[in-house]
């Protein structure tokens, strides 16, 4: 019995599990998707339902052989992300990090100065000279912004109109000031208004489309 228990304990220690419920590899050659509800998979299981198995990291995993870790937490801001950066990202020593944050900062009306400083700190601490870093904007293109004002969320975004422009400039500034990172400016093409679970979050088909967009951006860097 003692031998059996020891054997079972060894198996458990080798299997492990990550915060996103996806495969994790001890070889430290994986990809970490670091973000909020749009990474965790909020809405993928239906209205208000998180389904990590149908999140964009899960769909991304189906396209590549490197293990993908879902380090998304619904409602997270760049402040919260900074707190868990070491545990959820850096401790894994990933080959690539996809940073998809800022939407909750926007909705909570954080100043772009604060959000930019937090994102810059995340980038600086993630950078190691070899690691590939991708920054994803939660905003769409200008046609997305125009269509948004006619949606059920239109009044909300109209009230934040000036702040929306400031956040757009913030992402532009971050990309210009960090020439070693890669930028994914629009994940909403073919998703927003088509494959949505609510006025902010995609459904499972929407997350699959987002995974395709992100895969197209990262595939040459794998």
Q: What is the pLDDT of residue 15?
A: 28
The total number of residues shown for the chain amounts to 222
Average pLDDT over residues 182-202: 94
Residue range 25-31: mean pLDDT, rounded: 66
- Average pLDDT (76-101) is 98
Q: Are 210 and 56 in contact (CB under 8 A)?
A: yes
Alpha carbon distance 30, 98 (integer Å)? 11
For residue 205, pLDDT beyond 80: yes
**What digits encode the pLDDT tens for the residues 121-161?**
999 999 999 999 999 999 998 778 777 767 666 666 666 67
Mean pLDDT for 63-76 is 97
| Sign of the torsion angle spanned by Cα atoms 147, 150, 156, 158 | positive
Exposure of 167 by Cβ count < 10 A (0-12 exposed, 13-18 middle, 19+ buried)? Answer: buried
All domains in the chain, ordered by first residue: 23-221 (3.40.50.1110)
Between residues 22 and 185, the one the model is more confident about: 185
Q: Hey, is 7 helix, strand or coil?
A: helix
Highest average pLDDT, of 7-16, 18-27, 166-175, comes from 166-175
Least Cα distance to 115 among 175, 174, 39 occurs for 174
Instruction: Identify the pLDDT of residue 157.
Output: 65
| Res. 84 pLDDT band, cuts 50 70 90 | very high
Residue 22 contacts residue 84 (beta carbons within 8 Å)? no
User: Which residue is associated with the tokens 């702040």?
Assistant: 163
Query: What is the pLDDT, as a whole number, of residue 29?
Result: 79
Look up the pTM and report it.
0.85
pLDDT(197) > 80: yes
Which H helix or E strand runs over 41?
none
CB 184 within 8 A of CB 165: no
Tokens, residue 33: 């998707």
- Residue that has been written with the tokens 């948004």 in this structure: 148
Tell me the range of 23-37, 145-159, 205-219 where mean pLDDT is highest: 205-219
Residues 6+ apart with CB under 8 A from 59: 207, 208, 210, 211, 212
């Amino acid at each position: 019995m003692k031998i059996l228990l020891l054997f079972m304990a060894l198996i458990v220690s080798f299997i492990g599990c990550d915060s996103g419920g996806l495969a994790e590899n001890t070889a430290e050659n994986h990809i970490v998707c670091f973000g909020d509800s749009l990474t965790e998979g909020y809405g993928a299981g239906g209205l208000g339902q998180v389904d990590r198995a149908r999140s964009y990291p899960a769909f991304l995993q189906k396209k590549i052989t490197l293990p993908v870790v879902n380090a998304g937490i619904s409602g997270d801001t760049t402040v919260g992300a900074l707190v868990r950066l070491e545990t959820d990202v850096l401790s894994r020593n990933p080959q690539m990090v996809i940073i998809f944050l800022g939407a909750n900062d926007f909705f909570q009306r954080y100043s772009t100065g604060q959000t930019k400083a937090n994102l810059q700190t995340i980038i600086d601490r993630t950078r190691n000279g070899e690691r590939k870093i991708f920054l994803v904007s939660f905003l769409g293109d200008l046609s997305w912004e125009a269509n948004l004002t006619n949606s059920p969320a239109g009044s909300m975004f109209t009230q934040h109109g000036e702040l929306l422009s400031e956040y757009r400039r913030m992402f532009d500034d971050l990309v210009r000031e960090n020439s070693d990172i890669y930028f994914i400016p629009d994940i909403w093409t073919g998703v927003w208004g088509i494959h949505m679970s609510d006025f902010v979050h995609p459904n499972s088909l929407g997350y699959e489309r987002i995974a395709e967009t992100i895969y197209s951006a990262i595939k040459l860097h794998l």
